[in-house]
């Protein structure tokens, strides 16, 4: 291995470390932004897909112990994807009845 090659590899490793470091500090903001986006998308999906057959159920009517099973059951009826079901659940989690 020549020196130039070693330098390139070393520089590469160094750069990837710097990248990881700044990614770590940005991670929290990114995660909460992504989370906020999921909740927003989930709400839109809920409002659009879950009123066709009945009135929109109040998210606060059920706890997060109940919602996943209910949405799973309704998934077949509303023909939403697994991904959409998860987004809907991320929205419901923000409004669901609190467990005691």
Least Å from the CB of residue 35 to ligand HEC: 20
Question: Binding residue for ligand HEC (CB under 6 A) from 71, 87, 89, 96?
Answer: 71
Cβ count near 13 (within 10 Å):
10
Identify which of residues 33 and 92 has a Cβ nearer to ligand HEC in the complex: 92
Which residue in 11, 17, 40, 52 binds ligand HEC (CB under 6 A)? 52
* Euclidean distance between the first and the last CA atom of the chain, given in angstroms as a whole number: 65
* Per-residue tokens: 67: 């919602």
Distance (Å, whole) CA 78 – CA 45? 11
With respect to ligand HEC, which residue has the nearer C-beta, 57 or 86?
A: 57
Among 1, 3, 24, 53, binds ligand HEC (CB under 6 A): 53
User: Do residues 19 and 74 lie in contact, with contact meaning Cβ atoms separated by under 8 Å?
Assistant: no
Segment interacting with ligand HEC (CB under 6 A) among 3-11, 18-26, 31-39, 47-55: 47-55
C-alpha 2/C-alpha 60 separation (Å) is 66
DSSP designation for 100 = -
Residues that bind ligand HEC (CB under 6 A): 49-50, 52-54, 57, 70-71, 74, 77-78, 80, 88
């Amino acid at each position: 291995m020549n020196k130039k090659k070693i330098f390139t590899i070393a520089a590469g490793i160094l750069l990837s470390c710097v990248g990881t470091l700044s990614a770590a500090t940005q991670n929290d903001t990114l995660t909460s932004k992504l989370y906020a986006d999921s909740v927003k998308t989930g709400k839109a999906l809920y409002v659009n897909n879950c009123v066709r057959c009945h009135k929109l159920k109040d998210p606060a009517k059920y706890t997060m112990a109940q919602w996943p099973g209910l949405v799973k059951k309704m998934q077949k009826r509303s023909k939403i994807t697994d991904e959409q079901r998860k987004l809907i659940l991320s929205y419901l989690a923000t409004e669901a009845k609190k467990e005691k």
